[in-house]
Amino acid sequence: MAERRRHRPDLLHRRVSGPAAAGLSGGDVASRVSQGLANRVPDTTSRSLWQIVRANVLTLFNAIVGTSFVLLLLLGSWQDALFGLAAAGNAVIGVVQEYRAKRSLDRLAVLEAPLARVLRDGTVQEIPTAEVVLDDVLVLRAGDQVTADASVLESGGLEADESLLTGESDPVDKEAGTEVLSGSIIVAGRSTARVIRVGADSFSSRLAADAKRFSLVNSEIRNSLDRILRWLTWALLPVALIVANGEMQSRGGWEQAIDSGAWTSALVGVIASVIAMVPLGLVLLSSVAFAVGGVRLAANKVLIQELAAVEGLARVDVLCLDKTGTLTEGRIIFDGVHELAGPAEPGWEHALGWFAADPEANATSRCLEAAFEHDGGSPAVSSVPFSSARKWSSVTFDGGRKPSGSWILGAPEIVLTRIPGGADPGPTACAALDKAGRLAESGLRTVVLAYADDTTITADDATLPPVVKPVVVLTFREQIRPDARQTLDYFRDEGVELKIISGDDPRTVAAIARTVGLDVRDGYDARKLPAEPRLLEEVMGDNTVFGRVSPGQKKDMVAALQRRGHTVAMTGDGVNDVLALKEADLGIAMNSAAPATKAVARLVLLDGRFDRLPGVVAEGRRVIANIERVSKLFLSKTAYSIALAVSFGLLNLQFPFLPRQLSFTDGLTIGIPSFFLALMANTRRYRPGFLRRSLSFSVPAGLIVAASLLGLNLYSRSSGAAGGAPEPLQSASVLTLSVIGLWILAVVSRPLDKKKLAVLLAMCTSLLILLNLPLAQDFFHLAMPPADLLWAAGAAALGGGLAVELLAWIHGRKFPR
C-alpha cells in the first residue's frame, strides 16, 4: 500500500471539497507552532546516564569499600587491595546492564510513519509527522498510519486496524464523528479527519511514555543480594570500630600504637576484617552467571534484554499468553467447504475463484486463492467490495442473453437473515445458519456463499436482495503454532498456571485454547470485568480464558495476579501488549512484535519459536540453583568474618589475617571453584526461599569456622605456641581456614560427580603447592608453623569439618532437595 501511495502524485497538492475544504492556513499553523501545539513528542528518557552511574557507584557501600582500597594504597599495601578489582567489576556490570536497558527504552516508539498527509490552504501536502499541529486536517488513505489523534470529518468506507493498540483483530469502521487513534493503520477507504490531540497528549505518546518508565526485572537473587548488602552496610561501621579498638589494644593501647607506628598494621587488620565481611565475589559471580546464561540463550535465538531475566522464567508460576502471534501465527487459513442439502448452484467454484483473485479482496477471501483458481470464465459486470460494516461482498457475471444472478460471500448471520420486506429465510437458509453456528462454536470462522437469481447488485446500490439461496458454507481457522501445544503441556507439567488473554471474541479464544490442549469450556468476556481490585483478583483466579480485553485491562489483570502472590510472565507481539509486558515480572515478545513491544520486553524470541521457552526455563533453573549453591560459600565467609571481627575485637586480639591472606583462602575455597560450580548443569526445580535456605546453612557454617579459629588463637595465646610472633599464627589460621573452607566446598558441591570432584581435587592440590612455593609464601606472608601449632591447626580444622558435616545433615533434613 505504501508503494501504491508513493506512485500517486495526483494525491498531492490537489484541491479537495467537502467539510473543512481549505484546512488550516499558513498563519494558523504558525500560531499553533508558537503555542507549542505541534506534534512533537517530548524527548524524555527512561533514566539518565548520570542517574544510572550514581545508583550503581555512589553508594554508602561502595564508599566504604573504596575508602578501604585507597587507604591500603596510601599505606603501600597494594598487595592487600586486590578486592578493589571485584568491587569495580560489580559497579561496571551494573552500569552497563542498566544502560543497555535504558537504550532499549529510549528507542521505543509507537509511531513509525515519517510523513503525514494534511490539508492546508486548500491543497494536500505531505509534511514530517512532527510538524502536524492541532486542528490540522489529515487526509487518510489505505496504508497510512494515523500520526495524531483525530476526529473523522467525512468517511468513504474508512476502516482502521487498531489491533496493535487494542488487540482487536478485525478492522474497525470509522464513520464521521468517530475518533481514529494515533498509531492505528488505515486498511480500507479514505477520509479527512481533524487533529484533536498532538504530541504528549496523543494516545501513542501516552502509551510510549508509560512504557518508558524505568524498572528492573524482579530478580529474587538480585533482591536477596541487595538485602544482604544493605544489612552489611549498616553493620560495617560498628564492627570496624570494635575491630579497631581490639587491634589498638592488642598493640599496647591507642597511645602506644600511635607513638610506635603500629597503628598502620592495626589499620590493615581493620580493613581486612571489613572487606572479609563483604561478599563481593558473589555479586560479581551472579552477574557473570547471568551473562553466560544470556550468551547460551542467544545461541538458541533468544535475546536477553536484561541479564537477570535469565532467572525470571524459572520463577514464574503464572504465564499469560496473548492468542494472536503467540498461540497462533497471526493469520487465517482456509479450512474447508461444507455442502448443504440438495444440489449446489452450478458455477460456485468459479465464483469463489473470482473472490479470491479480486484485487480488493479482504484477507479472508484471499485465503481461497490456493483452493479455487480463477479460470477467467465469464467476466464480472458489477461487484461490491467487502466492508466490515456490511460484512459481505458480491459479484455479478455476464450471463449473455439471459440475465445472470449475483453471488454473495459474507457472514451467515447477515447474508441469510430475513431483511425488512423480504421473504422468510426458508428451511435451507435455517439449516445453513445452524451448520454455521455449530462450526463457529468449534472455533472456526464461518462464511457463506449464497446466490440470488436474476439479480444484479451494484456498488451504487449495495443492498442484499430479498431472496438469497445458500450454496455452501466455508470455514477458516487461525494457524496454530505447531509448537504451542507441546510448550503449554510442558508448563502445565511444571505447575505453571496458564492464562489466555486476547482482544478477540471469548468464544473464539476458548476454542483456540481447547485446540492447544487446555481444558476450558467458555471464555470470560473482559467487558464484564469488575473494577474493584478484590473482585478482579477473584475473577483472575477462577478463569483461564479472557476475550475482548483492552490494553489497560491487560495491565490490571497482570497486577491482580501479582497481588495474589504470583510471579507473572506475559507474552505478546502488539503495541496493545506493551503496558502488560511492562507490568509483568517477565515480558516476552516474539520477533514479529512491534518495535515498541520488543523495547519493553525482557526476552525476545528471535525466530518466533514458542518452544524456546522451556529452554529458557532450564537455563534459569541452572542459574538459580548454582548461584544458591555458591552463595552458601560466600555467605559462610561473611558470617565467619563478622563473627571473627566482633569476637577478636571484644577480646582485644589481633585479627588473624592480612587482606592478601584472605584473598588467598577466598580464591582456593570460594572464588575459583564457585566460578566452575556456577556454570555447571543443574536441573533442580525452582523453590522460593533462596535467601532463607542459604542463610540457614551459611550462618551456622560461619560460626563453626569462627569458633575453630578463635579456639586456635586462644590456644596459641595461652600456650605461647606462636612464640609471640604474628606470622606463624597467621599461617596456622590460613591453614585451618583453608581446610574447613574446602570441607564446606565439598558439602555444598554434593552430589559429587566427575566434574565437581575434579574441581575439589584441583583446589586441594593447589593449596599444598602454594603453601610450599617460596614465591607464594613471600607474597602472602606464609610460613610453616611450629609443630605444636601445626597440630593445633589440624585439630581445629578436623573439629570444624565434622561440625560442618553435622550441619549439612541437619540442613538436608530441613530442606530436602
Q: What is the C-alpha to C-alpha distance for residues 376 and 505, in angstroms, rounded to an integer?
A: 37
- Tracing cell 462450526 back to the chain, one arrives at 439
Q: What is the C-alpha to C-alpha distance for residues 202 and 196, in angstroms, rounded to an integer?
A: 9
The answer to whether 749 and 629 are in contact (CB under 8 A) is yes
Pick from 332, 616, 326, 621: which is nearest to 499 by CA?
326
The answer to whether 676 and 292 are in contact (CB under 8 A) is no
Q: What is the C-alpha to C-alpha distance for residues 526 and 417, in angstroms, rounded to an integer?
A: 28
For 74, the grid coordinates are 596510601
Question: Which residues neighbour 196 within 8 Å (Cβ) at sequence distance 6 or greater?
Answer: 134, 149, 150, 151, 179
Question: Which residues neighbour 271 within 8 Å (Cβ) at sequence distance 6 or greater?
Answer: 68, 71, 72, 80, 659
For 245, the grid coordinates are 579498638
Helix (H, G, I), strand (E, B) or coil at 319: strand
Q: How many CB atoms lie within 10 A of CB 323?
A: 26
Distances from the Cα of 311 to the Cα of 316, 559, 579, 583, 627, angstroms: 9, 20, 22, 17, 10
For 467, the grid coordinates are 431472496
The answer to whether 152 and 178 are in contact (CB under 8 A) is yes
Q: What is the C-alpha to C-alpha distance for residues 526 and 815, in angstroms, rounded to an integer?
A: 42
Q: What is the C-alpha to C-alpha distance for residues 335 and 324, in angstroms, rounded to an integer?
A: 18
Counting beta carbons within 10 angstroms of the beta carbon of residue 543, is it exposed (0 to 12), middle (13 to 18) or buried (19 or more)?
middle
Q: What is the C-alpha to C-alpha distance for residues 761 and 340, in angstroms, rounded to an integer?
A: 79
CA count, 13 A, side-chain hemisphere, 561: 28
Distances from the Cα of 650 to the Cα of 238, 265, 269, 640, 804, angstroms: 12, 18, 14, 15, 26
Pick from 793, 802, 786: which is nearest to 744 by CA?
802
Residues with a catalytic annotation lie at 322
Q: List 49's β-bridge partners, or say none.
A: none
Distance in Å from the first CA to the final CA of the chain: 59
Give kind and range of the element (H or E) at residue 378: none
3-state secondary structure 262-301: CHHHHHHHHHHHHHHHCCHHHHHHHHHHHHHHHHHHHHCC
Q: What is the C-alpha to C-alpha distance for residues 794 and 777, in angstroms, rounded to an integer?
A: 19
Helix (H, G, I), strand (E, B) or coil at 513: helix
Nearest-5° angle of CA 374, CA 372, CA 430?
120
Q: What is the C-alpha to C-alpha distance for residues 147 and 197, in angstroms, rounded to an integer?
A: 10
Q: What is the C-alpha to C-alpha distance for residues 670 and 702, in angstroms, rounded to an integer?
A: 13
The answer to whether 26 and 32 are in contact (CB under 8 A) is no
For 43, the grid coordinates are 524527548
The answer to whether 767 and 759 are in contact (CB under 8 A) is no
Q: How many CB atoms lie within 10 A of CB 237?
A: 12
The answer to whether 637 and 279 are in contact (CB under 8 A) is yes
Q: What is the C-alpha to C-alpha distance for residues 683 and 625, in angstroms, rounded to an integer?
A: 8
Distances from the Cα of 226 to the Cα of 150, 164, 272, angstroms: 48, 38, 22
